Amino acid sequence: MKFNEILEKMRLAVQKLQPASYKNNAAVEPAEPAAVGDSSLQSIRGRVNDFFGGALGRKTSSENSDSKELPPSHEAHRELASSAHSIESDAGALEPEDDIYADMNEYFDGKLSSEKESSIFSARSKKPVSAKKLYSRKKTSSTEIIDPDDPEFDDLHGHRYFKTEAEIRERADAKENLQKGVRIFWKVWSILRIPIILAASILIVYTLVTKVGNKLYQKYIMPVDPNDPTPIVINIEPGSGASAIAKVLYEACGEGEEGLISNKAVFKVYVDFIGKSSRLQAGTYVLSKNMSIPDIVDTICRGMPPREVRNLQVAEGMTIEAMAAKLVADGILSSPDRFLELCVTGEAFVADHPFIKDIPDDETGERKYKLEGFLFPATYEIYVDATEETIIDKMLSRFGQIWGPIYTARAKTIGLSMYEVVTLASTVEKEARIKRDFSRVSAVFKNRMERDMMLESDATIEYVLKTGSLHLTEEQLATPSGYNTHINYGLPIGPVSNPGDSALSAVLYPDEEFVQDAFLYFCLKDPQTGELVFAKTLEEHLANVAMYSPLW
């Protein structure tokens, strides 16, 4: 019989084997090769049985009762193939095309084609065997049961996915080291967790406290305005405590204005905290907004020698030259020259008083003092040794306080600039003496300008003539000048005095009744009181002049 037929019969016999026939049994020990003298058919049958039994770990006959596990080694399989080859040579019954040993060698070398392999073995799961199952580090006992129903059985014994034991051990060691590292990490974390959390909490609290504390320090302790060195005089009465001193400092610049400190409570807490509340001394001090609370406290604790203070009274309607003369007369200044020189351009005060930039230049060159009209008339406390710069700065600061956002908005509403309002107010200040007449005179000037009439104010030309009287001759009234409103339309080229708040307010809010009734004239009624009489027509005005001029 041909070997192909024998091989086919053996293949069919192996397929018919049920897993239960060898389950729970150990692998079969390969049988000893049959003697060469046996018949060829019997010898080859036994060799093939040994081949399939050894390669697949299955029992091939009932006589092989004793079995043991066959390790999956190529060498053992090659020995079987060699035995089959020797049998073939001795029996001389193999044909070239029926070389079973060649198929066996190709199979175990991984060179056997899938078609031929399928014809020899029944198909099973192609799922790769896991490395852990193939090469377990744990030794397999001789009694371990190999389950042939396991889908990885053929992969294991078919040697399709072998891994070297070194690779498996390396991966297992890496995994074990990783697990060991994780265990060590958690042990260390369990020890350091509380200190780390405490340290992080302290850091967060410290950062928040530092940030908040710095903001509070900048807002309440540092200077109110680091760029404002303007001297501010305060007087601390004897017996004043920290609360009373804090109130004086807070209100040092007047109601509604920011004082020398931004918070009274912070000042009191500060002096109590550093223990200097009992060391604050009464007296007169010159402070400024660019001083911090520590600087102010140190100054008050040191005390200052008393300095002679004088009251400077500047009346409404005074000119700059009149102010300079009064300062000399009061013994505050020794000469008016420096005072007048500083008022010519006002450049020394532009940085602290930006509104000076809004004063237009005089193209005619007739205007002497750019600051005329902006030195606000009031009563000032100044030291007898005060400088011209200090006095002028005080007056400009007061004007800036009066001319605030409300006056700025109102001037824009009625279509006048700040300079025009001050110029017209300086004229009203010179013409009217009674408070109720201010808004009426302003209404007359407003009506005349709206009708393209000249203002015809004697006060404007008198500013140039300096006669000291408003009773001017026809020749004087015809004097050519940019200040002469008898020959020029509109406002004079500049203010003719320094107006007070009443005159400024009168220009911004003229008498509505006089505006509606279109009053266009006025003249002096009572020289003693300064009361004026108003008229709507020229005839009425001339009649008033004829009536009251004998009293002038």
Q: What is the mean pLDDT of residues 469-488?
A: 89
For 167-193, write each residue's pLDDT tens digit: 787 888 888 888 888 889 888 888 888
Determine the Cα–Cα distance for residues 122 and 136; give it in Å rounded to an integer: 28
Percent of the chain with pLDDT over 70: 70
Q: Give residue 258's pLDDT.
A: 81
pLDDT value, residue 306:
62
Where does the pLDDT of residue 537 fall: very low under 50, low under 70, confident under 90, or very high at 90 and above? very high
**pLDDT over 90 at 278, yes or no:** no
Q: What is the pLDDT of residues 362-405, one digit of tens each?
A: 989 999 999 999 999 999 988 878 899 999 999 999 999 999 99
Residue 6, pLDDT score: 60
Taking the domain 232-302, which CATH number applies? 3.30.1490.480
Which residue type is seen at 551?
L
- Segment 282-303 shows an average pLDDT of 87
Task: Assign 323 a pLDDT band (cuts: 50, 70, 90).
Answer: very high
Q: Residue 79's pLDDT is what?
A: 54
**Position 494 pLDDT exceeds 50:** yes
Please give the mean pLDDT across all residues of the chain.
78
Range 480-485 average pLDDT: 94
- List the domain boundaries for the chain: 3-136+145-163, 232-302, 309-402, 413-551
Q: How confident is the model at residue 1 (pLDDT cuts 50, 70, 90)?
A: very low
Q: How confident is the model at residue 547 (pLDDT cuts 50, 70, 90)?
A: very high
Q: Phi and psi for 127 in degrees, rounded to 5?
A: -65, 130
Question: What are 17's two structure tokens?
Answer: 């084997």
Rounded CA gap, 413 and 198, in Å? Answer: 64
Which residues does 352 contact at the CB level (< 8 Å), separation at least 6? Answer: 228, 230, 393, 396, 397
> Would you give the distance in Å from CA 404 to the centre of its chain?
33
Closest residue by Cα to residue 413 from 491, 493, 502, 509: 509
**Average of per-residue pLDDT across 489-509:** 95
Q: Please count the other Cβ atoms lying within 10 Å of the Cβ belonging to residue 85.
A: 18
pLDDT at 188: 87
Report the helix count and the strand count for the chain, using DSSP H and E.
Answer: 22, 6
Instruction: For residue 139, give both structure tokens.
Output: 């030794």
What pLDDT does residue 489 have?
Answer: 94
Bridge partner list, 379: 313
pLDDT at 43: 56
Q: Which residue has the higher pLDDT, 511 or 310?
A: 511
> Is the Cα dihedral 39, 43, 45, 46 positive or negative?
positive
Q: What is the mean pLDDT of residues 126-136?
A: 44
CA distances 223 to 228, 303, 399, Å, are 9, 20, 24
